[in-house]
């Protein structure tokens, strides 16, 4: 992955880099400070704060998966599936977390069901057959909506007929697909520890292209029948990031905008300024929701973290937050999460929005 983007470039030039050569894929695992070229040695341990520091020679206890299973999942009803690559839990009535703990991202997609139809909020890595899991969970018509277009959230899109989205150049570029050469590192070595899904071939792993069926209008609510979901643009981690608000049930699906691990504001497609504005916007929802449903590692966090996230960005902007230097920038540590930025943070300016 190309991480040279921390060097500011003229926005037009960078747009071409971003749109046509394919900017980096999803960053290294959300949960960690970095394995830029992938964990030949195990990924470092930010994903799992309790994991041992790297020691040589490495043993399984040094690996990222030594943090599994994560205790938080035991709070929820597990749904048996025929596909062992996925674990499925019912988080609230009719809302299923489809979790892929076998790969370092530990990505979580959500199937949200209503009385008439269902929405798959992210389609995972595309390593296993997520469509078969969805079919097991609902017989209703299913649409896919992505929290953003990083590879670990769109991998199963190609299996579905109906993809809705917010029209954005970043999503459109990713919908053309991402080749094996850019993604193979994420399914090799210590990035994967579980038995690979049936018929999965490392050398053929790619993001297959998908076509959008319909564009959502800004502020449009998705009505599934008794379940209404509001789409809120939340740029920062990526320019096309959205969050999904279930106002009636006081839930917010946060994608990669918030989870309890290092948050990525340092990618070439990230914008610190946008992320900060998003954090302020979401903090205003803290009293309107009870829980956040997150896209990595563990499913549920209290909504007070929205306030914490806003305060964290403000502290960074005011240079009142301590940080440590990483290979690609800074890491600011807060209670329950950290924020990775460029060095200094404001160097990572808006990219596509600037055009
Ligand atoms: Zn992402």
- Measuring CA to CA, which residue among 20, 22, 44, 34 is closest to residue 268? 22
Expressed in angstroms and rounded, the spacing between residue 283 Cα and the centre of ligand 1 is 20
Expressed in angstroms and rounded, the spacing between residue 122 Cα and the centre of ligand 1 is 11
- Sequence-ordered list of residues with C-beta below 8 angstroms from that of 338, at least 6 positions apart, any chain: 46, 261, 262, 263, 331, 332
Burial class (CB in 10 A: 0-12, 13-18, 19+), 353: middle
Encoded tokens for 339? 């924020």
Expressed in angstroms and rounded, the spacing between residue 93 Cα and the centre of ligand 1 is 27
**pLDDT per position as a tens digit, 217-238:** 878 899 999 999 999 999 999 9
**pLDDT per position as a tens digit, 332-342:** 999 999 999 99
Expressed in angstroms and rounded, the spacing between residue 57 Cα and the centre of ligand 1 is 31
- Measuring CA to CA, which residue among 211, 213, 216, 286 is closest to residue 254? 286
Expressed in angstroms and rounded, the spacing between residue 173 Cα and the centre of ligand 1 is 15
Expressed in angstroms and rounded, the spacing between residue 113 Cα and the centre of ligand 1 is 24
Rounded to whole angstroms, the Cα distance separating 127 from 100 reads 9
DSSP 14-72: HHHHHHHTT---SPS-TTSS--TT--SSPP-STTSTTSPPP-SS--GGGSGGGGPSPGG
Expressed in angstroms and rounded, the spacing between residue 95 Cα and the centre of ligand 1 is 21
Q: What is the pTM of this model?
A: 0.84
Q: Mean pLDDT of all residues in the chain? A: 85
Encoded tokens for 313? 């960005």
Expressed in angstroms and rounded, the spacing between residue 104 Cα and the centre of ligand 1 is 13
Binning pLDDT at 50, 70 and 90, where does residue 62 land? confident
Rounded to whole angstroms, the Cα distance separating 236 from 313 reads 11
Expressed in angstroms and rounded, the spacing between residue 171 Cα and the centre of ligand 1 is 12
**pLDDT per position as a tens digit, 120-144:** 999 999 999 999 999 999 999 999 9
Rounded to whole angstroms, the Cα distance separating 183 from 62 reads 24
Expressed in angstroms and rounded, the spacing between residue 34 Cα and the centre of ligand 1 is 14
Domain 4-354 homologous superfamily, CATH: Ribonuclease Z/Hydroxyacylglutathione hydrolase-like (3.60.15.10)
pLDDT of residue 25: 36
Expressed in angstroms and rounded, the spacing between residue 237 Cα and the centre of ligand 1 is 7
Kindly report which listed range (45-49, 136-140, 144-148, 340-344) carries the lowest average pLDDT score.
45-49
Kindly report which listed range (12-21, 108-117, 144-153, 227-236) carries the lowest average pLDDT score.
12-21
Expressed in angstroms and rounded, the spacing between residue 253 Cα and the centre of ligand 1 is 14
Burial class (CB in 10 A: 0-12, 13-18, 19+), 188: middle
- CA-based R_g, the chain, Å: 19
Give buried/exposed letters for 220-229 (b at 16+ CB in 10 A, else e): eebebeebeb
Expressed in angstroms and rounded, the spacing between residue 26 Cα and the centre of ligand 1 is 5
Expressed in angstroms and rounded, the spacing between residue 56 Cα and the centre of ligand 1 is 31
Which pairing describes strands 214-215 and 163-165: parallel, antiparallel, or unpaired? parallel
């Amino acid at each position: 992955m190309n991480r040279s983007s921390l060097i500011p470039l003229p926005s037009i030039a960078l747009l071409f880099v971003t749109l046509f050569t394919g900017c980096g894929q999803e960053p290294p695992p959300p949960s960690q400070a970095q394995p830029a070229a992938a964990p030949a040695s195990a990924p470092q341990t930010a994903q799992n704060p309790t994991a041992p520091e790297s020691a040589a020679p490495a043993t399984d206890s040094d690996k990222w998966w030594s943090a599994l299973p994560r205790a938080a999942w035991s709070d929820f009803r597990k749904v048996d599936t025929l596909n062992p690559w996925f674990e499925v839990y019912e988080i609230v009535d009719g809302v299923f977390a489809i979790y892929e703990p076998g790969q370092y991202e530990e990505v979580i997609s959500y199937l949200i069901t209503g009385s008439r139809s269902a929405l798959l909020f992210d389609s995972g890595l595309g390593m296993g057959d997520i469509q078969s899991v969805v079919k097991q969970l609902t017989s209703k018509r299913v649409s896919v909506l992505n929290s953003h277009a990083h590879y670990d959230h769109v991998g199963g899109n190609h299996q579905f007929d109906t993809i809705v989205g917010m029209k954005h150049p970043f999503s459109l570029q990713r919908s053309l697909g991402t080749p094996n050469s850019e993604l193979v590192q994420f399914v090799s070595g210590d990035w994967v520890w579980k038995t690979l899904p049936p018929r999965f071939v490392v050398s053929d792993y790619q993001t297959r292209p998908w076509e959008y069926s319909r564009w959502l209008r800004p502020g449009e609510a998705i009505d599934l029948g008794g379940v209404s979901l509001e789409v809120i643009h939340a740029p920062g981690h990526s320019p096309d990031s959205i969050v999904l608000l279930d106002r009636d049930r006081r839930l917010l699906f946060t994608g990669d905008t918030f989870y309890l691990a290092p948050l990525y504001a340092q990618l070439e497609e990230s914008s610190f300024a946008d992320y900060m504005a998003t954090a302020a916007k979401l903090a205003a929802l803290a009293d309107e929701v009870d829980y956040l449903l997150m896209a990595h590692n563990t499913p549920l966090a209290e909504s007070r973290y929205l306030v914490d996230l806003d305060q964290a960005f403000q502290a960074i902007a005011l240079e009142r937050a301590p940080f440590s230097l990483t290979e690609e920038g800074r890491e600011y540590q807060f209670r329950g999460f950290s924020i990775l930025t460029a060095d200094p943070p404001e160097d990572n300016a808006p990219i596509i929005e600037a055009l």
